[in-house]
Structure 1
């Protein structure tokens, strides 16, 4: 019978011990990476609200009426608005400009051209009292995809931007706040040099503006308590609820601190479910709005959203209409965002 020599047994023991050390080191590295990934991407401060909703107070009832009025005007009366419906795109801009003026602002219409035709980002500004050079940008796009009325995508974001501007019109903050209505977020300009928010963010960078935070308000008004109504890019859904009844705070890895600050503020002030994540920007959906444009210029930026195509069955269709919006819940979200903006701007 064959018997291995002592020398061979010793060599085998050394190889086995070396392999065990390598395996242990590898497991340790994977553990460290897992812990880092959890705390970097998924761990959020405070707890998402899970209780019953209280009755809207008088201020919230008034806000709800204004949101309804704005979205009725933008989505139902004006309707589809983009480069293919150019007159309606400009009609939306004119409506928003007039509303900002009535709120006490002096709107700045920022023109740029595509093939000789003018398009406009619309900006109003509340100058900070102590650190006016530090700027918080809050914005949503007012154009739509294709022939969609875009009640949720993105009349909700455009109306929320307008109403938040009204709230802060007479409220002093230490930092400057700019409320911006962006044009041309949707195809064919999405993620191109002609995307309105990218044109705007480039201008800020060229001017050396100090943008400390940007909130992109995107598709914010659809909610569902039905099981499996919420979808995610795989495998993120393993960590989050399958009911689409929350508002999301989404950023890239570099904007992780802003995600955590914003959702902590929201959870401290708002009685509404919320989920947050700071994820690699190559994951589908993470960069699908105007915050992406600010990432390109190195600015911290996040998206506040109901997750759009991952929840909303009428995304980019002609069925994206006024009646699909849950105005009570949208009002609670916007009320909470007012507190988030106040915290960021102070």
Structure 2
């Protein structure tokens, strides 16, 4: 896809989710359903789609799965959540992740991978549901485990659109010795994060991203108890024993509008974000292999 076409596609998805639909969570069920319907509609243009509906506390929620079939029984999951925190339109958190998910699917729709690639948009990642039985990614990961699905790993695309060149714009959890690890205080990079058990998958994913992209990036594997390490859908897969990582701009450690009413499309650095998506597309193809 040409850069201008990709930029337009990403912008369309982000604006539709954050402006046309806006705040989307169980307290605004019509908006949450509209977001799910939009993602399903866009995905059905590109691939086989299955909508996994589940019930929780009297409400219905949907995980939307688009599949690019592979030759082997093993799978790779690329996921992102489509709900928002209350009171925010969620342009960066997490329309940026969903837009990237759909763009990667668009580029790889005719790819012939060794592994089956499962692109999944999850409901209910945010605080009210995080870590609980109603969390969409936990429902999905539990179903994979129950079906004995072989999984190479899962990549969670979480808040990936804010980049800045200012010194002192990047912070870290207090448990992380940024100076000793050589981590920058400039928030201009994409972070690849995992727990210690997923380090091998983390290293492979980060290496493949670096091979195809000049966007600055950094990788960190740390104990799951470190603040922020587990804060996305990848942690649901850890609970099922699957390798999983988070790709992020680090959200609260950088983004001033995290869980804020001003999390709007104008805050996203579209040029850097677009280049990051190109790298994530190449990374996905490399992780899945080719027949």
Instruction: Provide, for residues 292-315 of structure 1, a one-character-per-residue CA deviation record: whole Å limited to 9, x for no partner.
Output: 000000000000000000000000
Q: Following superposition of structure 1 onto structure 2, how do residues 140-219 of structure 1 map, counting pairs within 5 Å?
A: 140-219=80-159
Pick the aligned partner of 1:117 from 59, 62, 76. Answer: 59
Q: Following superposition of structure 1 onto structure 2, how do residues 317-336 of structure 1 map, counting pairs within 5 Å?
A: 317-336=260-279
Corresponding position of 1:236: 177
Specify the SS of the correspondent of 1:213. strand
Cα distance in 2 between the residues matched to 1:66 and 1:124: 18
TM-score (norm 1): 0.81
**Larger helix proportion of the pair:** 1
Q: CA deviation at 1:279?
A: 0.6
Cα distance in 1 between the residues matched to 2:213 and 2:56: 41
In our comparison, the structure showing a higher alpha carbon Rg is 1
Instruction: Provide, for residues 202-222 of structure 1, a one-character-per-residue CA deviation record: whole Å limited to 9, x for no partner.
Output: 000000000111000000000
For the pair 1:286 / 2:229, whether they are aligned, the reply is: yes
Instruction: Provide, for residues 132-188 of structure 1, a one-character-per-residue CA deviation record: whole Å limited to 9, x for no partner.
Output: x11000010000001100000000001111111111111111110000000000021
Specify the SS of the correspondent of 1:138. strand
Pick the aligned partner of 2:50 from 108, 111, 122. Answer: 108
Specify the SS of the correspondent of 1:215. strand
Q: CA deviation at 1:116?
A: 2.2
Pick the aligned partner of 1:225 from 148, 165, 179. Answer: 165
Which runs of 5 or more structure 2 residues have no equivalent in the other structure? none
Pick the aligned partner of 1:267 from 210, 220, 227. Answer: 210
TM-score (norm 2): 0.97
Pick the aligned partner of 1:337 from 280, 284, 290. Answer: 280
Corresponding position of 2:250: 307
Pick the aligned partner of 1:91 from 29, 34, 38. Answer: 34
Instruction: Provide, for residues 75-116 of structure 1, a one-character-per-residue CA deviation record: whole Å limited to 9, x for no partner.
Output: 01100000011100000000011101122x232110111122
Cα distance in 2 between the residues matched to 1:171 and 1:205: 26
For the aligned residues, what is the CA RMSD? 0.9
Q: CA deviation at 1:60?
A: 1.9
Specify the SS of the correspondent of 2:28. helix
